[in-house]
Protein backbone atom coordinates (compact mmCIF):
# COMPACT_ATOMS: atom_id res chain seq x y z
CA UNK A 1 0.00 0.00 0.00
CA UNK A 2 1.29 3.47 -0.85
CA UNK A 3 2.39 5.53 2.08
CA UNK A 4 -0.31 8.21 2.45
CA UNK A 5 2.33 10.84 3.26
CA UNK A 6 3.66 10.23 -0.24
CA UNK A 7 0.42 11.33 -1.85
CA UNK A 8 -0.08 14.71 -0.15
CA UNK A 9 -0.39 17.90 -2.22
CA UNK A 10 3.29 18.80 -2.29
CA UNK A 11 4.43 22.00 -3.92
CA UNK A 12 8.04 22.81 -4.82
CA UNK A 13 7.48 26.22 -3.23
CA UNK A 14 10.84 27.25 -1.75
CA UNK A 15 12.68 24.87 -4.06
CA UNK A 16 11.32 26.82 -7.02
CA UNK A 17 13.31 29.86 -5.85
CA UNK A 18 16.53 28.15 -6.91
CA UNK A 19 19.53 26.66 -5.15
CA UNK A 20 20.83 29.93 -3.70
CA UNK A 21 18.52 29.30 -0.76
CA UNK A 22 19.43 25.75 0.29
CA UNK A 23 21.75 22.78 0.03
CA UNK A 24 20.38 19.41 -0.96
CA UNK A 25 21.40 16.93 1.73
CA UNK A 26 21.08 13.26 2.63
CA UNK A 27 19.28 12.18 5.79
CA UNK A 28 21.23 10.13 8.33
CA UNK A 29 20.48 6.43 8.68
CA UNK A 30 19.70 5.40 12.22
CA UNK A 31 20.19 2.08 14.03
CA UNK A 32 16.67 2.11 15.47
CA UNK A 33 13.26 3.69 14.89
CA UNK A 34 10.79 3.81 17.77
CA UNK A 35 7.78 6.01 17.17
CA UNK A 36 6.89 7.63 20.49
CA UNK A 37 4.54 10.36 19.33
CA UNK A 38 2.43 10.90 16.24
CA UNK A 39 0.38 14.04 16.23
CA UNK A 40 -2.88 12.87 14.71
CA UNK A 41 -4.43 16.27 15.41
CA UNK A 42 -2.32 17.61 12.53
CA UNK A 43 -3.48 15.07 9.97
CA UNK A 44 -6.90 16.53 9.01
CA UNK A 45 -5.40 19.78 7.72
CA UNK A 46 -3.16 17.68 5.48
CA UNK A 47 -6.27 15.93 4.19
CA UNK A 48 -5.44 12.68 5.99
CA UNK A 49 -7.47 10.44 8.25
CA UNK A 50 -5.72 8.89 11.25
CA UNK A 51 -6.67 5.38 10.13
CA UNK A 52 -4.95 5.94 6.80
CA UNK A 53 -1.57 6.50 8.40
CA UNK A 54 -0.05 3.57 10.27
CA UNK A 55 2.91 3.80 12.62
CA UNK A 56 4.96 2.10 9.91
CA UNK A 57 4.02 4.89 7.52
CA UNK A 58 5.23 7.47 10.04
CA UNK A 59 8.53 5.63 10.50
CA UNK A 60 9.12 5.10 6.79
CA UNK A 61 8.43 8.70 6.00
CA UNK A 62 9.62 10.68 9.01
CA UNK A 63 12.30 8.33 10.41
CA UNK A 64 13.78 6.64 7.34
CA UNK A 65 12.85 9.50 5.00
CA UNK A 66 11.74 7.14 2.25
CA UNK A 67 9.79 9.86 0.49
CA UNK A 68 10.51 11.34 -2.89
CA UNK A 69 10.78 14.85 -1.50
CA UNK A 70 14.10 16.65 -1.66
CA UNK A 71 15.84 17.30 1.63
CA UNK A 72 16.71 21.01 1.62
CA UNK A 73 19.04 22.27 4.36
CA UNK A 74 18.07 25.92 4.38
CA UNK A 75 20.68 28.66 4.37
CA UNK A 76 20.39 31.46 6.88
CA UNK A 77 22.44 33.68 9.14
CA UNK A 78 21.31 35.66 12.14
CA UNK A 79 22.02 37.86 15.11
CA UNK A 80 22.71 35.69 18.12
CA UNK A 81 22.67 37.54 21.44
CA UNK A 82 23.19 40.73 19.47
CA UNK A 83 26.16 39.50 17.40
CA UNK A 84 25.95 38.76 13.71
CA UNK A 85 26.72 35.11 12.98
CA UNK A 86 27.29 34.07 9.36
CA UNK A 87 27.94 30.43 10.37
CA UNK A 88 24.38 29.33 10.86
CA UNK A 89 21.93 27.47 8.61
CA UNK A 90 20.09 24.17 9.04
CA UNK A 91 22.85 22.20 10.79
CA UNK A 92 20.70 19.31 11.95
CA UNK A 93 17.57 19.52 9.91
CA UNK A 94 16.10 20.15 6.52
CA UNK A 95 12.90 21.17 4.84
CA UNK A 96 11.26 17.91 3.83
CA UNK A 97 8.36 18.94 1.69
CA UNK A 98 5.81 21.72 1.60
CA UNK A 99 2.18 20.68 1.50
CA UNK A 100 -0.95 22.61 0.55
CA UNK A 101 -3.36 22.05 3.42
CA UNK A 102 -7.09 21.62 2.96
CA UNK A 103 -7.45 25.11 4.50
CA UNK A 104 -5.50 26.56 1.56
CA UNK A 105 -2.36 27.33 3.60
CA UNK A 106 1.06 25.98 2.77
CA UNK A 107 2.67 23.85 5.51
CA UNK A 108 6.31 22.88 5.95
CA UNK A 109 7.64 19.60 7.21
CA UNK A 110 10.90 20.56 8.89
CA UNK A 111 13.14 17.96 10.47
CA UNK A 112 15.33 18.27 13.55
CA UNK A 113 18.04 15.75 14.36
CA UNK A 114 18.08 14.20 10.86
CA UNK A 115 21.84 14.29 10.24
CA UNK A 116 24.68 16.58 9.35
CA UNK A 117 24.61 19.20 6.60
CA UNK A 118 27.12 21.71 5.24
CA UNK A 119 26.00 23.93 8.15
CA UNK A 120 26.78 21.49 10.97
CA UNK A 121 30.30 22.84 11.66
CA UNK A 122 31.71 19.78 13.46
CA UNK A 123 28.50 19.25 15.42
CA UNK A 124 26.72 15.92 15.12
CA UNK A 125 23.50 16.93 13.33
CA UNK A 126 21.52 15.06 15.98
CA UNK A 127 18.79 15.90 18.48
CA UNK A 128 18.57 14.46 21.96
CA UNK A 129 15.39 12.67 22.95
CA UNK A 130 14.96 15.18 25.76
CA UNK A 131 15.24 18.05 23.27
CA UNK A 132 12.60 16.40 21.09
CA UNK A 133 10.24 15.76 24.01
CA UNK A 134 10.61 19.33 25.24
CA UNK A 135 10.00 20.83 21.79
CA UNK A 136 6.96 18.59 21.23
CA UNK A 137 5.49 19.66 24.57
CA UNK A 138 6.17 23.36 23.91
CA UNK A 139 4.37 23.27 20.56
CA UNK A 140 1.31 21.54 22.02
CA UNK A 141 1.13 23.70 25.15
CA UNK A 142 1.40 26.92 23.17
CA UNK A 143 -1.08 25.77 20.57
CA UNK A 144 -3.71 24.81 23.09
CA UNK A 145 -3.21 28.09 24.92
CA UNK A 146 -4.01 29.95 21.71
CA UNK A 147 -0.51 31.01 20.68
CA UNK A 148 0.58 30.61 17.01
CA UNK A 149 3.29 27.95 16.91
CA UNK A 150 4.93 25.18 14.95
CA UNK A 151 3.93 21.75 16.23
CA UNK A 152 5.62 18.39 16.39
CA UNK A 153 4.14 15.97 13.86
CA UNK A 154 6.31 12.98 14.61
CA UNK A 155 8.85 12.02 17.27
CA UNK A 156 10.99 8.94 16.69
CA UNK A 157 13.73 7.64 18.95
CA UNK A 158 16.73 6.64 16.85
CA UNK A 159 18.96 4.51 19.09
CA UNK A 160 22.21 6.49 19.09
CA UNK A 161 24.31 7.68 22.03
CA UNK A 162 24.91 11.40 21.98
CA UNK A 163 27.47 13.46 23.84
CA UNK A 164 25.97 16.67 25.14
CA UNK A 165 27.36 19.44 27.35
CA UNK A 166 23.97 20.40 28.74
CA UNK A 167 22.56 16.92 29.43
CA UNK A 168 23.77 13.78 31.19
CA UNK A 169 25.62 11.85 28.49
CA UNK A 170 25.42 9.59 26.65
CA UNK A 171 22.00 11.03 25.84
CA UNK A 172 19.34 9.17 23.84
CA UNK A 173 18.80 10.39 20.27
CA UNK A 174 15.65 11.25 18.34
CA UNK A 175 14.48 12.72 15.10
CA UNK A 176 11.44 14.92 15.05
CA UNK A 177 9.45 16.52 12.28
CA UNK A 178 7.71 19.78 12.90
CA UNK A 179 4.82 21.08 10.92
CA UNK A 180 4.89 24.84 10.63
CA UNK A 181 3.66 27.63 8.41
CA UNK A 182 7.16 28.57 7.29
CA UNK A 183 10.85 27.98 7.91
CA UNK A 184 11.83 31.33 6.41
CA UNK A 185 13.53 33.25 9.19
CA UNK A 186 14.51 36.88 9.63
CA UNK A 187 18.03 35.49 9.28
CA UNK A 188 17.23 34.10 5.82
CA UNK A 189 16.94 37.72 4.66
CA UNK A 190 19.96 38.86 6.69
CA UNK A 191 22.17 36.33 4.93
CA UNK A 192 21.19 37.68 1.51
CA UNK A 193 22.11 41.17 2.65
CA UNK A 194 25.47 39.91 3.97
CA UNK A 195 26.22 38.64 0.45
CA UNK A 196 24.87 41.89 -1.01
CA UNK A 197 22.12 40.27 -3.07
CA UNK A 198 19.23 42.76 -3.33
CA UNK A 199 17.88 40.71 -6.24
CA UNK A 200 17.47 37.66 -4.01
CA UNK A 201 16.05 39.74 -1.15
CA UNK A 202 13.36 40.94 -3.52
CA UNK A 203 12.74 37.44 -4.88
CA UNK A 204 12.39 36.00 -1.35
CA UNK A 205 10.20 38.83 -0.16
CA UNK A 206 7.92 38.51 -3.18
CA UNK A 207 7.73 34.79 -2.53
CA UNK A 208 6.98 35.26 1.18
CA UNK A 209 4.21 37.76 0.49
CA UNK A 210 2.63 35.76 -2.34
CA UNK A 211 2.78 32.59 -0.28
CA UNK A 212 2.01 33.72 3.26
CA UNK A 213 0.30 37.10 2.86
CA UNK A 214 -1.63 36.53 -0.40
CA UNK A 215 -4.26 39.16 0.44
CA UNK A 216 -1.48 41.79 0.46
CA UNK A 217 -0.03 40.61 -2.83
CA UNK A 218 -3.05 42.07 -4.63
CA UNK A 219 -2.32 45.56 -3.26
CA UNK A 220 -0.45 48.13 -5.39
CA UNK A 221 2.41 48.44 -2.86
CA UNK A 222 2.46 45.28 -0.73
CA UNK A 223 5.91 45.75 0.88
CA UNK A 224 5.08 48.24 3.66
CA UNK A 225 1.81 46.41 4.25
CA UNK A 226 3.76 43.20 4.71
CA UNK A 227 6.10 44.82 7.22
CA UNK A 228 3.13 46.31 9.09
CA UNK A 229 1.41 42.94 9.28
CA UNK A 230 4.60 41.21 10.42
CA UNK A 231 5.20 43.83 13.13
CA UNK A 232 1.64 43.26 14.29
CA UNK A 233 1.92 39.48 14.29
CA UNK A 234 5.24 39.46 16.15
CA UNK A 235 3.90 41.94 18.72
CA UNK A 236 0.84 39.72 19.20
CA UNK A 237 2.97 36.61 19.48
CA UNK A 238 5.19 38.02 22.19
CA UNK A 239 2.18 39.60 23.92
CA UNK A 240 0.60 36.18 24.22
CA UNK A 241 3.82 34.54 25.40
CA UNK A 242 4.08 37.15 28.13
CA UNK A 243 0.50 36.70 29.25
CA UNK A 244 0.79 32.93 29.59
CA UNK A 245 4.18 33.30 31.30
CA UNK A 246 6.25 31.73 28.53
CA UNK A 247 9.92 32.53 28.14
CA UNK A 248 11.32 31.40 24.77
CA UNK A 249 14.92 31.61 25.91
CA UNK A 250 16.75 32.24 22.63
CA UNK A 251 15.14 35.03 20.67
CA UNK A 252 17.87 35.30 18.05
CA UNK A 253 16.90 36.53 14.60
CA UNK A 254 17.39 33.02 13.18
CA UNK A 255 14.64 31.83 15.51
CA UNK A 256 12.14 34.40 14.24
CA UNK A 257 9.72 33.20 11.59
CA UNK A 258 8.60 35.44 8.77
CA UNK A 259 4.97 34.50 9.42
CA UNK A 260 5.04 35.57 13.07
CA UNK A 261 4.66 32.05 14.42
CA UNK A 262 6.78 30.81 17.32
CA UNK A 263 9.19 27.93 16.68
CA UNK A 264 12.51 26.35 17.61
CA UNK A 265 12.01 25.70 21.30
CA UNK A 266 15.25 24.85 23.08
CA UNK A 267 15.82 26.02 26.64
CA UNK A 268 12.36 27.60 27.01
CA UNK A 269 10.67 27.79 30.40
CA UNK A 270 7.54 29.08 32.07
CA UNK A 271 7.89 31.71 34.77
CA UNK A 272 7.03 30.42 38.20
CA UNK A 273 6.34 33.67 39.97
CA UNK A 274 5.79 36.95 38.17
CA UNK A 275 9.52 37.66 38.08
CA UNK A 276 10.40 40.08 35.28
CA UNK A 277 14.08 39.10 35.48
CA UNK A 278 13.52 35.38 34.99
CA UNK A 279 15.73 33.87 32.27
CA UNK A 280 15.14 30.52 30.65
CA UNK A 281 18.56 29.77 29.12
CA UNK A 282 21.38 29.11 31.60
CA UNK A 283 23.86 30.57 29.10
CA UNK A 284 21.93 33.88 28.90
CA UNK A 285 24.05 35.38 31.67
CA UNK A 286 23.18 39.01 31.00
CA UNK A 287 19.47 38.29 30.75
CA UNK A 288 19.19 39.55 27.19
CA UNK A 289 16.19 37.26 26.66
CA UNK A 290 14.78 37.47 30.17
CA UNK A 291 11.00 37.35 30.58
CA UNK A 292 10.60 41.11 30.69
CA UNK A 293 13.02 41.72 27.80
CA UNK A 294 11.14 39.53 25.33
CA UNK A 295 9.02 42.32 23.78
CA UNK A 296 12.11 44.47 23.35
CA UNK A 297 14.12 41.61 21.88
CA UNK A 298 11.38 40.95 19.33
CA UNK A 299 11.17 44.63 18.49
CA UNK A 300 14.95 44.75 18.03
CA UNK A 301 14.78 41.71 15.74
CA UNK A 302 12.17 43.47 13.61
CA UNK A 303 14.55 46.42 13.44
CA UNK A 304 17.38 44.17 12.25
CA UNK A 305 15.11 42.87 9.53
CA UNK A 306 14.80 46.42 8.21
CA UNK A 307 18.39 46.28 6.95
CA UNK A 308 17.86 43.61 4.29
CA UNK A 309 14.33 44.79 3.53
CA UNK A 310 15.63 48.32 2.96
CA UNK A 311 16.95 47.03 -0.36
CA UNK A 312 13.32 46.79 -1.42
CA UNK A 313 11.46 49.50 0.53
CA UNK A 314 12.45 52.72 2.30
CA UNK A 315 14.02 52.31 5.73
CA UNK A 316 12.24 55.40 7.05
CA UNK A 317 8.89 53.88 6.18
CA UNK A 318 9.70 50.72 8.13
CA UNK A 319 11.02 52.75 11.06
CA UNK A 320 7.70 54.60 11.20
CA UNK A 321 5.76 51.33 11.04
CA UNK A 322 7.79 49.83 13.89
CA UNK A 323 6.71 52.72 16.10
CA UNK A 324 3.35 50.97 16.40
CA UNK A 325 4.92 47.85 17.96
CA UNK A 326 4.25 48.90 21.59
CA UNK A 327 0.60 49.56 20.85
CA UNK A 328 0.08 46.20 19.13
CA UNK A 329 2.00 44.51 21.92
CA UNK A 330 0.05 46.10 24.76
CA UNK A 331 -3.23 45.31 23.07
CA UNK A 332 -2.30 41.66 22.67
CA UNK A 333 -0.75 41.28 26.12
CA UNK A 334 -3.57 42.98 28.00
CA UNK A 335 -6.18 41.27 25.86
CA UNK A 336 -4.80 37.83 26.72
CA UNK A 337 -4.29 38.66 30.38
CA UNK A 338 -7.87 39.90 30.63
CA UNK A 339 -9.09 36.64 29.12
CA UNK A 340 -7.11 34.76 31.75
CA UNK A 341 -8.88 36.93 34.32
CA UNK A 342 -12.23 36.05 32.76
CA UNK A 343 -13.02 39.05 30.57
CA UNK A 344 -13.32 39.27 26.81
CA UNK A 345 -13.69 43.04 26.94
CA UNK A 346 -13.65 45.73 29.58
CA UNK A 347 -13.77 49.50 29.26
CA UNK A 348 -10.15 50.62 28.56
CA UNK A 349 -9.57 52.32 31.90
CA UNK A 350 -10.93 49.35 33.93
CA UNK A 351 -8.90 46.99 31.77
CA UNK A 352 -5.69 48.90 32.40
CA UNK A 353 -6.39 49.15 36.12
CA UNK A 354 -7.22 45.47 36.50
CA UNK A 355 -4.08 44.43 34.62
CA UNK A 356 -1.94 46.85 36.64
CA UNK A 357 -3.42 45.86 39.98
CA UNK A 358 -3.09 42.17 39.21
CA UNK A 359 0.54 42.42 38.11
CA UNK A 360 1.41 44.44 41.18
CA UNK A 361 -0.32 41.87 43.36
CA UNK A 362 1.57 39.02 41.67
CA UNK A 363 4.88 40.85 41.94
CA UNK A 364 4.56 41.69 45.62
CA UNK A 365 3.14 38.39 46.83
CA UNK A 366 5.33 36.22 44.58
CA UNK A 367 2.61 33.63 44.49
CA UNK A 368 2.89 31.09 41.71
CA UNK A 369 1.75 32.77 38.49
CA UNK A 370 -0.05 29.72 37.11
CA UNK A 371 -1.54 28.65 40.44
CA UNK A 372 -3.08 32.09 40.81
CA UNK A 373 -4.99 31.82 37.53
CA UNK A 374 -5.80 28.20 38.23
CA UNK A 375 -7.26 29.08 41.63
CA UNK A 376 -9.30 31.86 40.05
CA UNK A 377 -10.72 29.37 37.59
CA UNK A 378 -11.30 26.55 40.08
CA UNK A 379 -12.78 28.68 42.86
CA UNK A 380 -14.82 31.16 40.86
CA UNK A 381 -18.45 31.15 41.90
CA UNK A 382 -21.56 33.29 41.61
CA UNK A 383 -21.16 34.21 45.29
CA UNK A 384 -18.17 36.30 44.25
CA UNK A 385 -20.56 38.64 42.51
CA UNK A 386 -22.40 39.44 45.70
CA UNK A 387 -19.66 39.82 48.24
CA UNK A 388 -15.90 40.30 48.04
CA UNK A 389 -15.37 38.39 51.30
CA UNK A 390 -16.25 35.18 49.41
CA UNK A 391 -13.41 35.90 47.01
CA UNK A 392 -11.01 36.57 49.88
CA UNK A 393 -12.06 33.36 51.67
CA UNK A 394 -11.67 31.25 48.54
CA UNK A 395 -8.29 32.65 47.56
CA UNK A 396 -6.75 33.13 50.99
CA UNK A 397 -4.84 29.79 50.95
CA UNK A 398 -2.76 31.27 48.12
CA UNK A 399 -0.97 33.76 50.34
CA UNK A 400 0.73 33.92 53.71
CA UNK A 401 -0.78 35.54 56.81
CA UNK A 402 0.91 38.89 56.37
CA UNK A 403 -0.11 39.07 52.73
CA UNK A 404 -3.84 38.70 53.45
CA UNK A 405 -4.40 42.45 53.34
CA UNK A 406 -2.77 42.68 49.87
CA UNK A 407 -5.00 39.85 48.74
CA UNK A 408 -8.02 41.61 50.21
CA UNK A 409 -7.28 44.73 48.17
CA UNK A 410 -7.00 42.74 44.99
CA UNK A 411 -10.24 40.83 45.72
CA UNK A 412 -12.10 44.05 46.37
CA UNK A 413 -10.96 45.43 43.06
CA UNK A 414 -11.93 42.23 41.25
CA UNK A 415 -15.30 42.32 42.97
CA UNK A 416 -15.78 45.92 41.85
CA UNK A 417 -15.12 44.87 38.25
CA UNK A 418 -17.56 41.94 38.59
CA UNK A 419 -20.14 44.40 39.88
CA UNK A 420 -20.09 46.16 36.53
CA UNK A 421 -21.54 43.04 34.90
CA UNK A 422 -24.95 41.43 34.89
CA UNK A 423 -25.55 38.07 36.56
CA UNK A 424 -25.83 36.52 33.12
CA UNK A 425 -22.41 37.83 32.19
CA UNK A 426 -20.95 36.29 35.34
CA UNK A 427 -21.54 32.87 33.82
CA UNK A 428 -19.61 33.89 30.72
CA UNK A 429 -16.74 35.08 32.92
CA UNK A 430 -16.54 31.65 34.48
CA UNK A 431 -16.47 30.10 31.01
CA UNK A 432 -13.62 32.42 29.91
CA UNK A 433 -11.65 31.44 32.99
CA UNK A 434 -11.97 27.80 32.00
CA UNK A 435 -11.27 28.45 28.35
CA UNK A 436 -8.12 30.53 28.77
CA UNK A 437 -6.41 28.90 31.71
CA UNK A 438 -4.93 25.45 31.17
CA UNK A 439 -6.08 22.41 33.08
CA UNK A 440 -2.55 21.05 33.11
CA UNK A 441 0.22 22.63 35.12
CA UNK A 442 2.56 24.30 32.68
CA UNK A 443 5.44 24.54 35.15
CA UNK A 444 8.97 23.52 34.30
CA UNK A 445 8.80 21.00 37.10
CA UNK A 446 5.86 19.31 35.33
CA UNK A 447 7.90 19.04 32.14
CA UNK A 448 10.87 17.72 34.10
CA UNK A 449 8.65 15.04 35.74
CA UNK A 450 7.41 13.95 32.31
CA UNK A 451 10.99 13.70 31.10
CA UNK A 452 12.21 11.83 34.18
CA UNK A 453 9.60 9.08 33.67
CA UNK A 454 10.83 8.66 30.10
CA UNK A 455 14.47 8.82 31.10
CA UNK A 456 14.32 6.41 34.04
CA UNK A 457 11.59 3.94 33.14
CA UNK A 458 10.94 4.66 29.48
CA UNK A 459 7.46 5.44 30.76
CA UNK A 460 5.56 7.59 28.26
CA UNK A 461 2.31 7.55 30.18
CA UNK A 462 2.83 10.95 31.91
CA UNK A 463 3.75 12.49 28.53
CA UNK A 464 0.66 11.06 26.84
CA UNK A 465 -1.73 11.87 29.67
CA UNK A 466 -0.41 15.45 29.85
CA UNK A 467 -1.16 15.92 26.15
CA UNK A 468 -4.52 14.28 26.59
CA UNK A 469 -5.47 16.68 29.39
CA UNK A 470 -4.12 19.64 27.48
CA UNK A 471 -6.51 18.93 24.62
CA UNK A 472 -9.53 18.93 26.91
CA UNK A 473 -9.16 22.20 28.72
CA UNK A 474 -12.69 22.41 30.02
CA UNK A 475 -13.68 19.38 32.08
CA UNK A 476 -16.44 21.50 33.64
CA UNK A 477 -18.34 21.43 30.35
CA UNK A 478 -17.75 17.80 29.53
- Give the footprint of Mg ion on this chain (CB under 5 A): 255, 264
Nearest residue (CB) to ligand AMP, 189 versus 434:
189
Q: How far apart are CA 35 and CA 20, in angstroms?
A: 34
How many residues belong to the chain?
A: 478
Q: Catalytic residue among 193, 254, 264, 284, which?
A: 254
Q: How many other C-beta atoms lie within 10 A of the C-beta of residue 67?
A: 19
Stretch that binds ligand AMP, among 19-27, 89-97, 167-175, 346-354 (CB under 6 A): 89-97
Answer yes or no: 394 catalytic.
no
Closest residue to ligand AMP using C-beta atoms:
91
Is 88 or 231 the residue whose CB approaches ligand AMP more closely? 88
At residue 311, the 3 state secondary structure works out as coil
In the chain, DSSP finds a helix count (H) and a strand count (E) of 18, 12
Q: Which does 160 bind (CB under 5 to 8 A by kind): ligand AMP, Mg ion, none?
A: none
**C-beta of 126: minimal distance to ligand AMP in Å?**
5
DSSP element (H, E) containing 468: helix 461-471
Told to check if 91 binds ligand AMP by CB under 6 A, we report yes
In angstroms, what is the minimal distance from the CB of 93 to ligand AMP? 7
- Based on the shown chain and the rule CB under 6 A, indicate whether residue 69 belongs to the binding site for ligand AMP: no
Judged by beta carbon distances under 5 to 8 A according to partner kind, the member of Mg ion, ligand AMP, none in contact with residue 360 is none
Q: How far apart are CA 90 and CA 70, in angstroms?
A: 14
Taking the complex as a whole, how short is the minimal distance between the CB of residue 210 and Mg ion, in angstroms? 25
> By C-alpha distance, which of 239, 238, 243, 296 is closest to 274?
243
Q: Is 308 in the site for ligand AMP (CB under 6 A)?
A: no
Q: Which of 193, 264, 334, 394 binds ligand AMP (CB under 6 A)?
A: 264
Q: What angle do CA 327, 331, 333 make, to 5 degrees?
A: 115
Q: Give the three-state DSSP class for 85.
A: strand
Q: Which of 27, 63, 67, 89 binds ligand AMP (CB under 6 A)?
A: 89
Nearer to ligand AMP, 126 or 172 (CB): 126
Q: What does 11 bind: ligand AMP, Mg ion, none (CB cut-off 5 to 8 Å by kind)?
A: none
Q: How far is the CB of 92 from ligand AMP (least distance, A)?
A: 4
- Choices 121-129, 237-245, 343-351, 381-389 (CB under 6 A): range interacting with ligand AMP: 121-129
Residue 119 interacting entry, from Mg ion, ligand AMP, none, C-beta within 5 to 8 Å by type? ligand AMP
Q: Are 152 and 135 in contact (CB under 8 A)?
A: yes
Q: Residue 349 and residue 388: Cα distance in Å, rounded?
A: 21
CA distance 406 to 6: 60
Integer Cα distance of 170 and 172 in angstroms: 7
- Choose between 157 and 374: whose C-beta lies nearer to ligand AMP: 157
Q: Which is nearer to Mg ion, 256 or 440 (CB)?
A: 256
- By CB under 6 A, is residue 248 in contact with ligand AMP? no
Q: Please, which residue, 179 or 228, has the CB nearer to ligand AMP?
A: 179
DSSP letters spanning 26-57? -----S--EEEEE-GGGHHHHT--GGGS-HHH
Name which of ligand AMP, Mg ion, none residue 124 binds, using a CB cut-off of 5 to 8 Å depending on partner kind.
Answer: ligand AMP
What is the distance between the alpha carbons of residues 116 and 112, in angstroms, rounded to a whole number? Answer: 10
- Is residue 124 a contact point for ligand AMP (CB under 6 A)? yes
Binding range to ligand AMP, per CB under 6 A, among 122-130, 301-309, 320-328, 367-375: 122-130
CB of 166 to Mg ion, least distance (A): 15
User: b or e along 405-432 (b: 16 or more beta carbons within 10 Å of the residue's beta carbon)?
Assistant: ebbbebbebbbebbeebeeeebeebbeb
Cβ proximity to Mg ion, 42 vs 88, nearer residue: 88
Mark 92-111 with x for binding to ligand AMP (rule: CB under 6 A) and - for no binding: x-------------------
Instruction: Round to whole Å and give the CA distance between 166 and 72.
Output: 28
Q: Are 188 and 78 in contact (CB under 8 A)?
A: no
- The CB-of-59 to ligand AMP minimum distance in angstroms stands at 22
* Total of chain residues touching ligand AMP, rule CB under 6 A: 15
How many CA atoms lie less than 13 Å away from 269 in the CB half-sphere?
20
Minimum distance of ligand AMP from residue 135's CB (angstroms): 10
Which residue, 6 or 120, is less far from ligand AMP as judged by CB? Answer: 120
Q: Of the ranges 101-109, 120-128, 142-150, 458-466, which one interacts with ligand AMP (CB under 6 A)?
A: 120-128
DSSP 260-293: S-B---SS-EE-SB--TT--S-TT-TT-TT-TTT
Q: Are 466 and 446 in contact (CB under 8 A)?
A: yes
Give me the active site residues, please: 254
Summarize as ranges the residues that interact with ligand AMP (CB under 6 A). 88-92, 119-120, 123-126, 250, 255, 264, 266
Amino acid sequence: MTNPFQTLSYEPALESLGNEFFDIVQPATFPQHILHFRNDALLPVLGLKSEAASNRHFIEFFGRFQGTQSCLALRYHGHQFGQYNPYLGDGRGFLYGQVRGVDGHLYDFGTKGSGTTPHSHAKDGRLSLKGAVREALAGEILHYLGVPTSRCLSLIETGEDLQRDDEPSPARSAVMVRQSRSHIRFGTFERLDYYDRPDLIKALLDFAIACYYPELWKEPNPYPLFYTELVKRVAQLVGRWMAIGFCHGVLNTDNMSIVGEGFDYGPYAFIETYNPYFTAASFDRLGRYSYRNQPNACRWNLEMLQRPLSKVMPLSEMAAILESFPEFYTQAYEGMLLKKLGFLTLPPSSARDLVGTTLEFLLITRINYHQFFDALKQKFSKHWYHNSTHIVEDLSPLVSGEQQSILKNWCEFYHWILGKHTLEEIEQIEQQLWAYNPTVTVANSAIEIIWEAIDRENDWQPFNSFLQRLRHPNPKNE
